[in-house]
């Protein structure tokens, strides 16, 4: 199996090779799938992210959440491997922060992890079991276990792989969205079937 560092290099190279139009089409397709999810429609607080280094943009979702009057949260880097969720009332509140990524201004209100209903999570690569390879800092792996949120990974189609290498503390996803559609992990599919009205 390809090691994590080699996988990250390969995925970053493939993202860098995409043109602006390809990126925009992929982002539009992913948002189209996301907004059809019942969990997204019903979420009162949605955590998203500001795309960096060729990650798939979810700005359309951020604007949609704000326009609907719901709560939008974005991550703020608090230190090595540690982040918090901050309420963003407008994208003008974002500032260039750690690693050159746009983040909420430090004055933005903190949102407790258990107040987040749905988390849209970036990743270098995912697999159909919901395993995720991040950028290597462990921020989401430390943050997500404290939430009750539905975890939705977002990536380009080429970043959804048959299997990705993981370790026990890696935070898994409930679903992964690519431009081609939504894939629920086996555990989440079973839970959704159990929740369906009889």
CA angle 20, 23, 26 (to 5 degrees): 150
Reply yes or no on whether the pLDDT at 194 is more than 90.
no
Q: pLDDT tens digits, residue range 125-167? A: 999 999 999 887 889 999 999 999 999 999 999 999 999 887 6
Give the H or E element holding residue 176: strand 175-178
Alpha carbons within 13 A on the beta-carbon side of 7: 23
Closest Cα partner for 23 from 52, 61, 65, 63? 52
Do residues 174 and 126 make contact, with C-beta atoms less than 8 angstroms apart?
Answer: no
Output the average pLDDT for the chain.
Answer: 90
Q: pLDDT tens digits, residue range 161-176? A: 999 887 656 789 999 9
Reply yes or no on whether the pLDDT at 198 is more than 90.
no
CA distances to 20, 55, 58 from 17, rounded to whole Å, are 10, 12, 19
SS3 label, residue 115: helix
């Amino acid at each position: 199996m390809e090691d994590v560092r080699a996988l990250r290099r390969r995925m970053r190279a493939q993202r860098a090779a995409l043109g602006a139009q390809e990126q925009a089409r992929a982002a539009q397709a992913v948002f189209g799938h996301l907004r059809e999810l019942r969990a997204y429609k019903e979420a009162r607080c949605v955590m998203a992210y500001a795309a960096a280094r060729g990650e798939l943009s979810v700005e359309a979702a951020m604007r949609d959440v704000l326009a609907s009057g719901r709560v939008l949260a974005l991550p703020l880097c608090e230190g090595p491997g540690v982040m918090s969720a901050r309420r963003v009332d407008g994208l003008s509140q974002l500032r260039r922060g750690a690693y050159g990524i746009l983040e909420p201004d430090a004055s933005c209100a903190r949102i407790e992890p258990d107040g987040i209903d749905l988390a849209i999570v970036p990743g270098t690569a995912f697999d159909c079991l919901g395993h995720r390879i991040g950028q290597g800092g462990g921020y989401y792996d430390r943050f997500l276990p404290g939430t009750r949120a539905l975890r939705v990974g977002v990536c380009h189609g080429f970043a959804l792989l048959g299997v990705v290498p993981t370790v026990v503390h890696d935070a898994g996803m409930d679903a992964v969205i690519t431009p081609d559609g939504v894939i629920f992990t086996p555990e989440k599919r079973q839970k959704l079937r159990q929740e369906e009205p009889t």
